[in-house]
Every structure is written in C-alpha cells, then in structure tokens.
Amino acid sequence: MELCFATNNTHKLAEIQALLGPEFTLRTLSDIGCHEDIPEDRPTIPENSRQKAEYVWNHYSVNNFADDTGLEVYALNGEPGVISARYAGPQRNADDNMAFLWQRLAEENQPLPTPARFVTVITLVLNGNFHQFEGSVEGHIIATRRGTHGFGYDPVFVPEGRDKTFAELSMGEKSQISHRARAFAKLVAFLQERRAQ
C-alpha cells in the first residue's frame, strides 16, 4: 500500500518506515510535489494533526497521514504541548527548546527530574474519510542532555521504566515503547484490517 506521510523530516520518515514495514511504501511531501509550508496553527495536537492531513488531501487528492507530537510537562500545566517544536521561538531549534524548558521549570521552582509525557496523534485520510490514532508514553524530564540519537526533546526525556533517555536508545529500542510507535501500531492495525476485508 502506498501512502503519503505529510512530512519532509528524514528522521521521522526513517522511524515510521521501520515501524510500518515493507508492505507499505511511504512517499514524502516532496514526492507528491508539495513544497509549501503546511499550516500548523490549531490550538490542540489532534487539531494540528488533522489540519495537515486535510491540507494534503484537499490540495493533492492523495491518501495520506500526518502526525503531530507534543511534550506535556505536568508542572507547567501541559507546556510546551502543541507548540513543542517552536517553544523557544520560530527557529524550531531543539537546543533552544530544551534550554527554554529548563528555564521555565526554574521560573516555577520545579525540581528535576519532573514528570512529563509525550503524545502523538496521527490523522489518516483514506478516500476522504478521516481517522485518528493516539499514542502516549509517560516519563520525566532530567537536568542534563544525554545521548545522540533521536531528535527534539529526546536527550532530556527518560521514559517510564527505563534509565536511558530516548536519545540514548537505539531506533529499535525506541520504536518498541515510544508514543509515536504506539500511535502507529494502531494505524498499522487499522490499515491491515482494511486490507484484509
């Protein structure tokens, strides 16, 4: 089955292709000729996810899926949440975002480590029909960066039940437990069920 993954993020693409396996062929936004910046200005993660998938469907008539992910820190009432990628500004710089997160925790006199969770919501569009799948993983934010794998806040997030950050885990290890993996497992199960019908 061929689907467009509404991203040009090569890290995400490799991670998701590994999760989906060889029976699915992923195309990027570039592959379908989409080079514009897709709007991401909705107030929640599920709405942002749908906005991206809906844009691709409306403009390119291509079956596709889009994901939106956020880090939610409980002590900060769910910040950074839907603005996780641009928490420290429009430059979307991971180092800036992590530094700003520590700054915000210090401003609120919150000790580290502090509980948090990652949430991913995927919106799938098949022939104009919309379906959403959510995955989350609990963990905590630590005071120093550790690891070189992954992206975003991975170097400062330790998932529950582990002593390594996401950035210290291999892609294989991360794909077994991550929020994105859990959401995509639901997507894959749905697609496989549809194919079997």
- CA atoms of 183 and 131, how far apart (whole Å): 12
Set 68, 95, 96, 163: catalytic member: 68
Which of 126, 149, 177, 97 has the alpha carbon at shortest distance from 4? 126
Q: Which residues of 120-157 are buried (b: 16+ CB within 10 A; e: fewer)?
A: bbbbbbbeeeebbbebbbebbbbeebeeebbebbbbbb
Helices and strands in the chain: count of H runs, count of E runs = 5, 7
Q: Specify the 3-state DSSP secondary structure of 42.
A: coil
Q: What is the DSSP letter of 144?
A: S
Task: With H, G, I as helix, E, B as strand and everything else as coil, classify residue 130.
Answer: strand
Our answer to whether residue 68 is catalytic in this structure is yes
CA pseudo-torsion sign 54, 97, 158, 155:
positive
**Residue 12 buriedness (CB in 10 A; 0-12 / 13-18 / 19+):** middle
Which secondary structure element, helix H or strand E, spans residue 4, and what is its range? strand 2-5
Active site residues: 68
